[in-house]
Structure 1
């Protein structure tokens, strides 16, 4: 065992670590130097706690695109960009040349062959399938019912509870519980009941967190290191495999239950699994693919990844921004009063009613512009290319698109780009201003544009309208607010608030 651990790579890593310590600058100045052997890694590590702002600073001072050089013995080199024309080229114009790539798929191998992790024909088939299912009116109605039911039976009781006791609550935790329950319900037809006043520890929800966090870790260490950890069953790989196993058991049990339910065909819900299994039984799908339990398992993992943390992150930053901008909150309430009240109470929050809240839509857009739920997108080039910025791209180059930085570029949004200004989204005629997706990219761009974009807005509007009309959200004084370094843009310390009812 000792011989295995003391490999040349590990010895070199130790040497480089001490070399790095020698050049450490505690001032954390925003500079980047391409050191011998270690490349630009010391600067990145030095600013890791503030990595999104660091990348933004670097991109602003390098014309929006930067070639990052990692240590010589690793595969940590990548091209970082926030240039909208480069984004347009990568995501749309030259889309076929920039798949997710094998390195991304290996890092997120727990997602299997699902839509988030797949390329080419497999991705194309799943994209078409989910487009059909998500646009079905029966599913849309079911989705609305799930969200409103979870608000009524889960969210409101919790907020009433913490309000009556006058205790602090972490809204980020509340929203993560909400979205985990709602995704499980809309995909599997199963409610894990994470969202309750007891704040229970749910094994498969915790397992998902472990799997996500430790998959992300793979991106920032040499591949041979995490593979060695996996072989030895230690460190982050041990946690990843544990979470993977627990979530697998949960999902496969749900699949087994769902198949039995569809055979009975009694009072079936319109969740995605029911739709898939029913259509395969009727011979309307490629049964060789969809009849596979692995396909259903991979689908669940991918939809959990797509729908749980993105929406909860969006809601968390939305409520922090609104709570710290009282004029914005007052205007949202004014529009709710104007469009959604019926004898002093909120109307049924359906799609038609919610579409009247143009200002709220603009607030959500402005929130995800500044704090995109996914701060980075990663692609890999298949062939050589020349970006619109003039940078040469070789085959197998890792491309990293910084969505966080794009929301902070004066060249895209003007000199007031750092301001929280929902009015930038409202036209003179009171309509939403259209911004091309390669400039406003939180929902991706081109062929991979998010299929759940409309549902995300519906869910966020229902939750935002309900909470803001019924409660005051007060930020705890002195609570630190900063983004975490993770797959989704969580708040590093959560969102600790106190809740008070508006109407007593």
Structure 2
């Protein structure tokens, strides 16, 4: 009886043991899966705890697209608010592609990106893809050896004394022969609707064409309609920038593939821009071949000479892309900076008075009467330099700039960067950070840039380039910085001694951003000639 019981028990145990043995791999798989999920969740939690960047609201598939769509039209202001409230002035969000993006207003991070680890933060594939149709392989869109070659050539040319003097001479000519007569005419007619933003764009376009290409489009003649090229260039820069702000990048890529909608307009505008640049190159190259001058003055001629001697070809996409990059840098940035400067000046009369007194002291020190200002005279205008720096702190011509990480990294503030992440530093937001500029960061105060020199006079002292990244910093720092200040100082010094630009005191201008910044709707002023009492 007992034996039978044992036997029967053994017979009943066999199937159960067999079933457990068969199910064991499945059970192990399930347990392993949940273990991996728990480990990943814990790792992700620890990673978020270690990551110092504040995340932006994110949703499945679309990432942070809804959040930025809600804030369309005010990206600069939106980023400023987010960065100001983030503990380390750095935020992180997810793009619709699933990849992460980082935006920072932390000077230590900016130095890390632009200098310390410069080699792993190039412009990147996405930036080049977005801007390639317009800028091609020009210096502002190039990476690697292509960038190094153009940078080396341009750096040498920008540091020659002959070019510096040529720039000062050209700017003075445009001011004396065109800008001042135009303002005198507007003052005489009592016009109250002169758009200074348009005037400054026209001035800058004439000037960059003379300095860089040896051509004179004469756009500053307001009686003439805006050139077809300028309209095409405005369209091309606006629609190219729209690609960056599109929540779902696949949409502009499909439109480009099908050549419809905004991408069709962009293609047409870029074709006009390219034709203008190529025609400019051909005409300048022909003039160069007929000229007996030992050394050409304008930049285009210098590049054409260099390219012809090294490549056996006098023009091509390489030089064309350089032409377009210089137009973008020379026309849009200085005009944007001066538009906001004149608006700020209209509500800060004491700043205007200080600048005027400084300019008059420089003029009084001359040995002989002359029009315009020399390069040396402009360098002496420290209060004016400080005022321009302060204006660009609050309203930078390029409000943000992006790079792409080539490998995993950690920023100085502890923000974790994965390979392929777009990392953006934001000069517009940085100018509004109390942590950088103090409690008065929103005030327009040129005095913050001035220190007493050895002789007791006030001197404009440059800030740390990573704290004030308006002209970039590190190896890619703007080569045209001195040229820009020469042009801006010459315009302001000439205008401010003769005219007052009255602006509607109720104007609340809107800061807009494409590839560069601007003032929505323009800056309309009433030009008034100053009297002795003024």
Task: Pick from 60, 83, 86 the counterpart of residue 84 of structure 2.
Answer: 60
For residues 219 and 95 of structure 2, the distance between their equivalents in structure 1, rounded to whole angstroms, comes to 41
- Give the CA deviation at 1:322: 1.0
Task: Pick from 171, 174, 184 the counterpart of residue 196 of structure 2.
Answer: 171
Q: Is the 8 A contact 2:347 2:505 kept in 1?
A: no
**Paired position in structure 1 for 2:235:** 210
1:104 corresponds to 2:132: no
1:39 corresponds to 2:63: yes
Q: Is the 8 A contact 2:282 2:315 kept in 1?
A: no
- Give the CA deviation at 1:199: 4.4
Task: Pick from 266, 270, 276 the counterpart of residue 244 of structure 1.
Answer: 270
Q: Which deviates more from structure 2 when the two are superposed, residues 401-410 or residues 213-222?
A: 213-222
**Paired position in structure 2 for 1:258:** 284
Structure 1 residues 279 and 38: CA distance shift in structure 2, 3 A: closer
Secondary structure in 1 matching 2:401: strand
**Paired position in structure 2 for 1:70:** 95
For residues 249 and 314 of structure 2, the distance between their equivalents in structure 1, rounded to whole angstroms, comes to 34
1:366-391 Cα deviation digits (max 9, x unpaired): 01111110000110000110001101
**Paired position in structure 2 for 1:369:** 393
Structure 1 residues 495 and 344: CA distance shift in structure 2, 3 A: farther
For residues 86 and 148 of structure 1, the distance between their equivalents in structure 2, rounded to whole angstroms, comes to 40
- Give the CA deviation at 1:38: 3.3
1:144-182 Cα deviation digits (max 9, x unpaired): 222111112221122112111111111111111111111
- Give the CA deviation at 1:348: 3.9
**Paired position in structure 1 for 2:49:** none
1:389-444 Cα deviation digits (max 9, x unpaired): 10111111011111100001111111111110000000133122231100011000
Q: Is the 8 A contact 2:99 2:420 kept in 1?
A: no
Secondary structure in 1 matching 2:452: coil
**Paired position in structure 2 for 1:91:** 114
**Paired position in structure 1 for 2:361:** 338
What does 1:454-465 align with in structure 2 at a 5 Å threshold? 454-465=482-493
For residues 32 and 124 of structure 1, the distance between their equivalents in structure 2, rounded to whole angstroms, comes to 36
Structure 1 residues 197 and 402: CA distance shift in structure 2, 3 A: same
1:60-118 Cα deviation digits (max 9, x unpaired): 111200001233xx367410110100000000000000000110011001201111000
Q: Which deviates more from structure 2 when the two are superposed, residues 475-484 or residues 360-369?
A: 475-484
What does 1:95-494 align with in structure 2 at a 5 Å threshold? 95-109=118-132, 110-167=134-191, 168-221=193-246, 222-266=248-292, 270-280=297-307, 283=309, 286-287=310-311, 291-341=314-364, 348-429=372-453, 430-494=458-522
- TM-score, structure 1 length as denominator? 0.89
- Give the CA deviation at 1:316: 0.6
Q: Is the 8 A contact 2:91 2:104 kept in 1?
A: yes
Q: Is the 8 A contact 2:305 2:314 kept in 1?
A: no
For residues 162 and 417 of structure 2, the distance between their equivalents in structure 1, rounded to whole angstroms, comes to 45
Indicate the structure (1 or 2) with the bigger Cα radius of gyration: 2
Q: Which deviates more from structure 2 when the two are superposed, residues 335-344 or residues 133-142?
A: 335-344
Matched pairs, number: 468
- Unaligned runs of at least 5 residues, structure 2: 1-54
> Considering only aligned residues, what root-mean-square deviation do their CA atoms show, in Å?
2.0
Q: Is the 8 A contact 2:165 2:375 kept in 1?
A: no
Q: Which deviates more from structure 2 when the two are superposed, residues 401-410 or residues 262-271?
A: 262-271
Q: Is the 8 A contact 2:356 2:497 kept in 1?
A: yes
Secondary structure in 1 matching 2:513: coil
Secondary structure in 2 matching 1:490: strand
For residues 102 and 256 of structure 2, the distance between their equivalents in structure 1, rounded to whole angstroms, comes to 28
For residues 179 and 59 of structure 1, the distance between their equivalents in structure 2, rounded to whole angstroms, comes to 33
1:11-67 Cα deviation digits (max 9, x unpaired): xxxxxxxxxxxxxxxxxxxx9532344333223222223322221111111120000
Q: Is the 8 A contact 1:170 1:497 kept in 2?
A: yes
- TM-score, structure 2 length as denominator? 0.84
